[in-house]
Amino acid sequence: MKAIVDRDLCIGCGLCEDTCPEVFRMGEDGLAMVIDDDPAAETYPDIEDCVELCPVAAISVAAV
């Protein structure tokens, strides 16, 4: 699984970094970035939480 952030939608709330810092980090521009394109399977539940919890639905996942 691979996480994707649509930076055109992200409003920089930071929830994804708080929930799954292994995969998401806030960039200097205040928007989230994906920092691991092939994250460990242990992080998948947290990534799914981020997909559901992002207030603007900016996070999606794709098969690697």
Within 3-62, which residues bind ligand F3S (CB under 6 A)?
Answer: 5, 10-16, 32, 54-56, 58-59
Q: Cβ 19 to ligand F3S, closest distance in Å?
A: 8
Task: Decide: residue 64, CB within 10 A, 0-12 exposed, 13-18 middle, 19+ buried.
Answer: exposed
Q: What are phi and psi of 27, to 5 degrees?
A: -85, 170
Q: Cβ 40 to ligand F3S, closest distance in Å?
A: 19
Contact 64, 38 (CB under 8 A): yes
In the complex, the residues that contact ligand F3S under the rule CB under 6 A are: 5, 10-16, 32, 54-56, 58-59
